[in-house]
């Protein structure tokens, strides 16, 4: 029983932490990364893209332990749903808004994260594959 709990924590704690981190950043009113609006928009879009790409990786890793066939699509859907919930959450944060563009960037990040894992994992060097198997990524 302790091993099972430990395994569940090992698999799902990164997902929970990452979702909390996304929630934390989206809770900050008027979050600016640069005084220049152009660079602020570029950095924020890149941050959305990377954060949700990594969310896919964490979700896929956690789901890959139990669900063998549908884990890829389920991780995509869960990533998209979390992005949607994050945008809805931002609608209630002062000086933040729900933005379809951000949702599309989130989904693009989730999708690219999935494609990277799907396409590159069979071609990865043996040492990297062994590491990924050890951590449950593939």
Model's pTM, two decimal places? Answer: 0.82
How far is residue 49's CA from residue 108's CA, in Å, rounded to a whole number? Answer: 7
pLDDT band per the 50, 70, 90 thresholds, residue 94: very high
Task: Return the domain boundaries, the chain.
Answer: 2-134
47 burial type by CB count under 10 A (0-12 exposed, 13-18 middle, 19+ buried): middle
pLDDT, position 68: 59
pLDDT digits (tens, 9 = 90+) for 106-122: 999 999 988 888 777 66
pLDDT band per the 50, 70, 90 thresholds, residue 103: very high
């Amino acid at each position: 029983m302790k091993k099972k709990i430990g395994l569940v924590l090992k698999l799902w704690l990164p997902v929970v932490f990452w979702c909390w981190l996304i929630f934390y950043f989206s809770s900050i009113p008027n979050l600016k990364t640069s005084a220049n609006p152009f660079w602020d928009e570029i950095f924020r879009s890149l941050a959305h893209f990377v954060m949700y790409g990594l969310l896919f990786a964490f979700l896929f890793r956690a789901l890959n332990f139990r669900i063998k066939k549908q884990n890829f699509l389920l991780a995509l859907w869960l990533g998209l749903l979390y992005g949607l919930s994050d945008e809805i959450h931002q609608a209630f944060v002062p000086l933040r808004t729900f933005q379809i563009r951000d949702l599309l960037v989130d989904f693009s990040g989730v999708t690219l994260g999935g494609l990277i894992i799907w396409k590159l994992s069979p071609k990865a060097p043996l040492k990297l594959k062994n590491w990924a198997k050890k951590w449950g990524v593939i």
